């Protein structure tokens, strides 16, 4: 059978589930660290696993350009190539084609574009994107779509969404079913309720192993994103996983879980780690701030990650100021550990029927902010 998804507990709209793949089980709600180019930047695969991550994300666009899907396939697939034996989801490449390439031609067949690496020309279609993801041996393949820009008129959003739905059907036809592998469709439609409902209905009619909500976190703001989720998530099948793409901050994750979302990915925890930003129970901390220079406390006294267990804020700030790569590595590890602890806390709260209390305590702690030393 393809992917197996079970919901073991609910609390309001939130679900505690298990997604079984050919490379292991993913406990949901789950956050997927982003390994765009077959690596989570600054982290060994064993280190990523030590944070509690159960699934990673790779990217079709980047991997097709370098080192090439055929090469990865010959070397045993993405799991063997990057040394990660757990499940992998691959983004289809559609978003990167739109965001990273200036010279591109989009039509019904697909997208022709120039590589941001060397300027060479390439074409992605629903069929070629699915084929590349098959060569990569992705446990979860994403349908090829156009990420609708923001802001946009209803007319342009409708045209874009309907093109993505036609591409979704071609993606479904191109996908090769096998045990422990699945294909997710992507709901588009911008911030327009009727288009989101139309998109969800079209995807359900085609039939997918999971359903993603795309085209959010592109500038619309949290309130509008949550409103769109309130409209979209109830339209998705209850017996399939729901994935909110490219989101986001810890507060976004908590609020989206409360609305029934099961899976997330975002570059924020890793990118922030490389830019001296840390996420903690009391909000975000900027290690470039001069007040950390003489602070002997750990970054987060309740965290057991290597950055907090063995080093002071003063040392972390020294690494940042000195431009030492260890600083970015430790802060990345901490951020991923924090995100995984947050997801584990959400899962436990759903199981116990205490999600509302958990979310309230989370919001209260975040509102207090980082406390300076005495």
Distance separating alpha carbons of residues 84 and 78, to the nearest angstrom? 8
Pair (121, 206) in one structural domain: yes
Same domain, 258 and 151: yes
Does residue 296 lie within any of the structural domains? yes
Strand partners, 279: 284
How far is the C-alpha of 63 from the C-alpha of 132, rounded, in Å? 9
Helix (H, G, I), strand (E, B) or coil at 201: helix
Cβ atoms of 256 and 247 within 8 Å: the answer is yes
- The verdict on residue 373 lying in a domain is no
Chosen domain end from 233, 265, 297: 265
- Considering the domain architecture, whether residues 113 and 143 belong to the same structural domain is answered as yes
Residue 150 lies in a domain: yes
Range of the domain at 321: 273-368
Q: Which of residues 236, 265, 294 is at a domain's end?
A: 265
pLDDT tens profile 68-119: 999 999 999 999 999 999 999 999 988 887 776 666 789 999 999 888 899 9
Q: Are residues 120 and 228 in the same domain?
A: yes
- State whether 70 and 112 are in the same domain: yes
> Domain check: are 133 and 12 in the same one?
yes
Q: Which long-range contacts (CB under 8 A, 24 or more apart) does 166-171 make?
A: 166/108, 167/110, 167/126, 167/143, 168/126, 168/143, 168/144, 168/202, 168/203, 168/206, 168/208, 169/206, 170/125, 170/126, 170/127, 170/144, 171/92, 171/126, 171/127, 171/129, 171/130, 171/143, 171/144
Same domain, 178 and 289: no
pLDDT at residue 312 in the model: 98
For 183, phi then psi, to 5°, come to -120, 130
Q: CA-to-CA distance for 318 and 322, rounded, in angstroms?
A: 6
Note the pLDDT of residue 104: 78
Catalytic site positions: 91, 265
Contact residues for 361 (Cβ-Cβ < 8 A; gap 6+)? none
Taking 70 as the pLDDT cut, the residues of the chain under it are 100-103
**CATH code for the domain of 86:** 3.20.20.105
Given 265, 291, 323, which residue is the final one in a domain?
265
Residues 293 and 148 in one domain: no
Residue 161 lies in a domain: yes
Q: Same structural domain for residues 13 and 35?
A: yes
**All residues at 6 or more sequence positions from 5 whose CB lies less than 8 Å from its CB, including other chains:** 17, 18, 19, 20, 210, 239, 240, 241
**Does 99 share its domain with 144?**
yes
**Residue entry with tokens 């996420």:** 279
User: What total number of domains does the chain contain?
Assistant: 2
Together in a domain, 308 and 357: yes
Q: Are 139 and 277 in a shared domain?
A: no
CA distance 142 to 182: 9
Question: Is residue 65 in a domain?
Answer: yes
Query: Under 8 Å CB-to-CB from 330, ≥6 apart: which residues?
Result: 273, 306, 307, 311, 316, 319
* pTM score: 0.97
């Amino acid at each position: 059978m393809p992917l197996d998804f079970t919901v073991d507990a609910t609390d309001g709209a939130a679900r505690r589930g298990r997604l079984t793949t050919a490379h292991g089980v993913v406990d949901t709600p789950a956050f997927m660290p982003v390994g765009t180019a077959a690596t989570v930047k600054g982290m060994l695969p064993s280190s990523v696993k030590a944070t509690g991550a159960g699934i990673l994300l790779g990217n079709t666009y980047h991997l097709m350009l370098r080192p090439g899907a055929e090469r990865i396939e010959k070397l045993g697939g993405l799991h063997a190539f990057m040394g990660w034996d757990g499940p992998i989801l691959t983004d289809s490449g559609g978003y990167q084609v739109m965001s990273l390439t200036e010279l591109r031609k989009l039509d019904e067949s697909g997208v022709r574009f120039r590589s941001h690496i060397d300027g060479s020309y390439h074409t992605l279609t629903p069929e070629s994107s699915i084929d590349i993801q098959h060569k990569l041996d992705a446990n979860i393949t994403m349908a090829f779509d156009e990420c609708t820009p923001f802001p946009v008129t209803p007319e342009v959003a409708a045209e874009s969404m309907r093109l993505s739905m036609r591409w979704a059907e071609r993606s479904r036809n191109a996908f090769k079913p096998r045990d422990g592998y699945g294909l997710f469709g992507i709901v588009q439609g911008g911030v327009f309720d009727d288009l989101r409902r139309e998109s969800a209905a079209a995807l359900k009619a085609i039939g997918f192993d999971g359903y993603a909500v795309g085209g959010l976190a592109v500038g619309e703001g949290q309130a509008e994103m949550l409103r769109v989720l309130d409209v979209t998530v109830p339209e998705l099948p209850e017996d399939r996983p729901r994935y909110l793409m490219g989101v986001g901050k810890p507060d976004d994750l908590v609020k989206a879980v409360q609305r029934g979302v099961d899976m997330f990915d975002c570059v924020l925890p890793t990118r922030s780690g490389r830019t001296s930003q840390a996420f903690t129970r009391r909000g975000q901390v900027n290690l470039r701030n001069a007040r950390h220079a003489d602070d002997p406390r750990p970054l987060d006294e309740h965290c057991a990650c290597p950055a907090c267990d063995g080093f002071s804020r003063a040392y972390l700030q020294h690494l940042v100021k000195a431009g030492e790569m260890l600083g970015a590595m430790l802060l990345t590890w901490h951020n991923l550990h924090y995100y995984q602890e947050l997801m584990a806390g959400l899962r436990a709260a759903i199981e116990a029927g205490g999600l509302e209390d958990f979310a309230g305590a989370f919001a209260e702690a975040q509102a207090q902010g980082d406390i300076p030393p005495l």
